[in-house]
Structure 1
Amino acid sequence: MSQPWQQPQQPQQPQQPGGYPQQGGYGYPQQPPQGGQPQQPQYGGGFPPPPAPAPPQGSVGLAIVAGIGAALVGALLYAFLLSALADTDGQQPEITNFAYAGVALGALVGAVVAKLGGRNQGLWIIGAVFALIAIFLGEMYGYALIANDFTSNAVERLGGDSSQVPSANEFFFDHFGDLYDGWKEDADAMTYIFMALSPVAAYAAAHKIGNR
């Protein structure tokens, strides 16, 4: 004898305390936690890393003042070297130009400007101009030293008093026009090339140090 057909029973939901079925299972939306605020997703790694610090900015005024000081000191050193290499014992002074001296002078000025001015390319150009002025003043004051030494030797050979010969400062400040005319007559292509090396070295040194 066949058994009567019976409708299959639905699976029972687990009961929460109070007789209500538990929500959040299959087919039911996830209920928010107590308190009414949805739970925020958690991400690994903690807090985001702090932004990278900005590169330090140099001082424009301090870099310019220091560049002027370095240019004056370099010009004096260049002048004394030019005078030391000159031969003033003959009938005419013989002057020897030293290219590496101009390069060293320019590198000194450019390094000082970049060290204090940072990555300011305008200061690098100013440093190159300072180096060009410094090499020119070094040439002029070097010629003043040579003129003093040569004139003193000539007066002593004639039996005169060399103490009456104008000093290098007097040649430089009181007779600068005559000094410049004499320098311009002696200058040749190599003189201008040696002078051009100084601002080039200044800019190259500033670029290298400023980009570190």
Structure 2
Amino acid sequence: MAKSKYEYVKTFESSTTLLPNTFMVVRIDGRGFHKLSAKYRFEKPNDRQALELMNAAATAVMKELPDINCAYGISDEFRQAAVSSYAIVRWKSSALPVFLNFAGLHELEASHINNLYNTTFWALRQKGGMDATQAEERLKGTLASEKNEILFSELKMNYKNEAEMFKKGSIVYRDYDNSSSGFSREASAPAVFNSEKPKLSKTQKEEERDRRVKASMTIENTDIIRDDFWDQRPWLLSGHLDS
């Protein structure tokens, strides 16, 4: 491409250097999902089949790429690696789901806040008889407690009864406790997960990769904002959140 009319694309290239002993998060967000969900009449605000499709796609990617420790998904986004091709294979239709990649860390609390808003918004429309503009105006400036009260008092809904997958999203991770590899929790975290990483021989690297491949894939709908989830699975964060 040098000295060609396409050489200008090099001006769009940029390099990013990762700090040592850090992990990378990739956010995959849905593109055109409004039209897709309308075409196939997804249930609002959450469609269980669509979410399970995304979980299956994320799991397939993790099986294909053993270096990925975990993936977190809610709504039309996943924080992991590209899942479009796997979702398309399982979709089997003319209008295909597409995911875009965004690198960076994002506040997980937003997922919970967004779902509470969406649940209340669609309840006001479906049960409260409001149009979109009216529902948006009703919710403008409201706190989480006020949205819960609207659901309970006005719409006879208890947000606590919503499915955990809708409220908390799905975390897909390599579970060494339940794996077929036979490693216990204490022994399961490969040396590559330790804060002080020794230099591994080629054979050791192959063994570590084999452990990752053999680890079972677990999907949970739980609160990953709290430390408990990560404290019980130290290998997921590679021991870099010691505080």
- TM over 0.5, yes or no? no
TM-score, normalised with respect to structure 2: 0.28
TM normalised by structure 1 equals 0.31
Bigger RCO (CA 8 Å, 6+ sep): 1
More helix by share: 1
